[in-house]
Amino acid sequence: MSRSCAKCGRSMEEGFVVDSADGGASSVAAWHRGTPDRRWWGLKIRKAERRDITAWRCTSCGFIEHYAR
């Protein structure tokens, strides 16, 4: 799929945002509905609400768009 940059009109490339945990494990960043539910151990996450984030970066100006799929 080809996209054009909303800022300069040049081409964009697909990628993703890396989310690194304290333990060193990496995963794809995700979007969750609502506000953060903070607990003493971290955030309470409902996996059914998780949507991986796809990022598109302009190869010319560097503008980034994020989409939760």
Average pLDDT, the chain: 88
Please compute the mean of the pLDDT values over residues 32-41 and round it to a whole number: 86
DSSP 15-59: EE-EEE-TTS-EEE-EE-SSS--EETTEE---GGG-EEEEEEEET
Rounded-to-integer distance, Cα 16 and Cα 56, Å: 8
Total domains in the chain come to: 1
Per-residue model confidence (pLDDT) at position 15: 95
Rounded-to-integer distance, Cα 51 and Cα 39, Å: 21
Asked whether residue 37 is assigned to any structural domain, the reply reads no
Per-residue model confidence (pLDDT) at position 26: 85
Please compute the mean of the pLDDT values over residues 8-36 and round it to a whole number: 86
What percent of the chain has pLDDT above 70? 94
Asked whether residue 3 is assigned to any structural domain, the reply reads yes
Per-residue model confidence (pLDDT) at position 22: 66
Asked whether residue 40 is assigned to any structural domain, the reply reads no
Asked whether residue 38 is assigned to any structural domain, the reply reads no
> What is the pTM for the complete model shown?
0.74
Query: Which domain covers residue 6, as residue numbers?
Result: 1-32+46-69
